[in-house]
Amino acid sequence: MITDIRGSVTTTTFAQVIKQARSHDEEAVVALYQRALPVIYRYALARLGRPDLVEDVVSEVFLVMVESIDELRTEQEAGFYAWLIQIAQGKISRALRHVTRNERKQISLQNNQTSDQYNSIELVATDLVSNPVELHEWRETLEEVGLAMGNLSAEQQIIVIGRFLAGQKIEDLAQALGKQPGAVRILQFRALNTLAKHLGLARGSQRKRKGERV
Partner 1 sequence: MNPEEYLDRLIELHEQGELHLPAINDDFAASIVAAETIEQLKEISIPFEFANNLEFSIRAYARNLREQNHGNISFAQSHILSDQNRRTIPPVQSHSPVGPQPLFKRRALITFLRVAAVLLIACVGILTASARSHPGDALYGISQAEKQFALTFVGVPQNNASLQIDQLRSAIDDLKTAVNEGRDDGAIRLALDNVTVKTRDSQEAVAALPVDSMREEAQQALSSALADEEQILHVLLNNVDWPVQLFFTYQLGTLGEPVPTVTNVVVHTQSNGTLLITLTGMHFAPQAQLMIDGLQNGIVRQSTPTQLIAVTGIAASSTGVYVIGVRNPDGTAAQLIINVYDRNNSGREDSNHSRHGTPIPNPTGSPDN
Judged by CB under 8 A, does residue 195 bind partner 1? yes
Give CA–CA dist 104/40, Å, rounded.
28
State how far the Cα of 54 lies from the Cα of 75, in Å rounded to an integer.
27
Number of residues that bind partner 1 (CB under 8 A): 74
**Which of these ranges, 9-17, 71-79, 80-88, 200-208, lies near partner 1 under the rule CB under 8 A?**
200-208
**Shorter beta-carbon distance to partner 1: residue 53 or 79:** 53
* Calpha distance 158→78 (Å, rounded): 10
Contact 163, 173 (CB under 8 A): yes
Query: What residues contact 7, with CB distance under 8 A and at least 6 apart?
Result: 30, 31, 32, 33, 34, 35
Q: What residues contact residue 124 under an 8 Å CB cut-off, 6+ apart?
A: 51
By CB under 8 A, residue 45 contacts partner 1: yes
Member of 17, 57, 176, 177 binding partner 1 (CB under 8 A): 57
Diameter of the chain measured on Cα atoms: 57
In the region spanning residues 128 to 147, those forming contacts with partner 1, defined by CB under 8 A, are: 141-142, 145
Options 9-17, 43-51, 78-86, 172-180: segment touching partner 1 (CB under 8 A): 43-51
Q: Is residue 55 near partner 1 by the rule CB under 8 A?
A: yes
Q: Least distance (Å) from partner 1 to the CB of residue 67?
A: 7
- CA-wise closest residue to 154 among 69, 98, 90: 90
Q: Which of 6, 26, 112, 151 binds partner 1 (CB under 8 A)?
A: 26
Q: Which is nearer to partner 1, 58 or 79 (CB)?
A: 58
Is 120 within 8 Å of 152 (Cβ atoms)? no
Query: What binding mask, one character per residue, do residues 85-124 give for partner 1 by CB under 8 A, x or -?
Result: ------x--xx--xx-xx--------------------xx
Nearest Cα neighbor of 149 from 140, 161, 138 is 161
For the chain, report the end-to-end CA distance as a whole number of angstroms.
Answer: 20
Is 83 a binding residue for partner 1 by CB under 8 A? The answer is no
Out of 170, 173, 174, 176, the only residue in the binding site for partner 1 (CB under 8 A) is 170
Residue 186 engages partner 1 in binding (rule: CB under 8 A): yes
